[in-house]
Each structure stands twice: as C-alpha cells, then as structure tokens.
Amino acid sequence: MKTLRSRKALSPVVASIILIAVTVAVSIAVAAWMGALTFSFMNTGEQVQLGSPYGMSNGGNTVNVTLTNPGGNAWTITQVRANNTVCSFAWSWNNGTQGLTVNAGPVPPQGGITLTITTPFNFYTGYQYTFTVVSAKNSEYTTTGTCP
C-alpha cells in the first residue's frame, strides 16, 4: 500500500523548530520588560517616610513634619505644598554634635530630620490639612494632620 504525503504540509521537525523559536522570542521579550520595570523601581534611591504633622496651632501658619530617609542616597526637596498651596520651608537635623538648618540642598540619608513648613494661610482648629513634599525626581510624599 502506498502512503500519501502532502507536499504542502510542514514536516513535524520544522514545525517544532518554529514553535520553539517563537517561545524563546516571547520569553526574551517578557524578561526584558520585567527587568526594565524592576530597575525603574529600584533606581530612585528615595525611600522617604513622613511622620504626622505636629506643632500646628489655631491662627498659626507653621507646622513641623519629621522626615526619615532610609534609602541610603541624599535627595533634594524642590517644593512643599499644604492643601495644594505652595509653601516656604526649611529643614533641620541634629547629628549629635551640631544642629543645622537648611532652606535648600540635598537631604542626608538619615532619620530625625525636621521639616518646618510656613503656609500663606492660618490653621484653624478641627480642620484637616494635607502636606505634600516633592523631590527633585518629582516623587511626591504626603501626610495629613488635623489642627488641634
């Protein structure tokens, strides 16, 4: 008996090679995409944590927020907002031997940094305020507090 072979069909070996090539190409594309995602999240070096605001008083316009920068890299504050209103600010810390107050420049990688925010408006008892710190890399860190 004679077996019929179609000349239009691919041989199983060629089909297997094409299937493996497509699988390898897709896996390389997914690995490159995941790698780019991972490095974009890890390269910031900014791991800033904001504490709760303190020192607000009725009729006053200054508040303090404690910053912690455990990221290992210094970063720069470019803007501070209170309820989406741009405010003036200064930050300070005590390194054990001396205190330092700075209006600009890189924030060192350490804890216990006090950010003093001066708003163009007064605080009122019972109202909640949102404070946003913006870094030079355009990362935003937010905390909220209610004026006592």
- pLDDT value at residue 47: 75
The whole-number pLDDT of residue 127 equals 93
CATH code of the region 49-146: 2.60.40
Phi, psi at 12, each rounded to 5°: -60, -30
Instruction: Report the C-alpha gap between 101 and 117 in whole angstroms.
Output: 13
Reading the block at residue 85, the tokens are: 């209103």
Largest CA-CA distance found in the chain, in angstroms, rounded:
103
| Sequential pLDDT tens for the chain (148 residues) | 556 665 666 688 888 899 999 999 999 999 888 877 666 555 555 678 888 999 999 999 999 998 887 766 777 888 899 999 999 888 887 655 555 665 556 776 667 788 888 999 999 999 999 999 998 888 889 999 999 8
Q: How far apart are CA 79 and CA 117, in angstroms?
A: 10
pTM (whole model) above 0.75:
no
Closest CA to 81 of 39, 132, 37, 128: 132
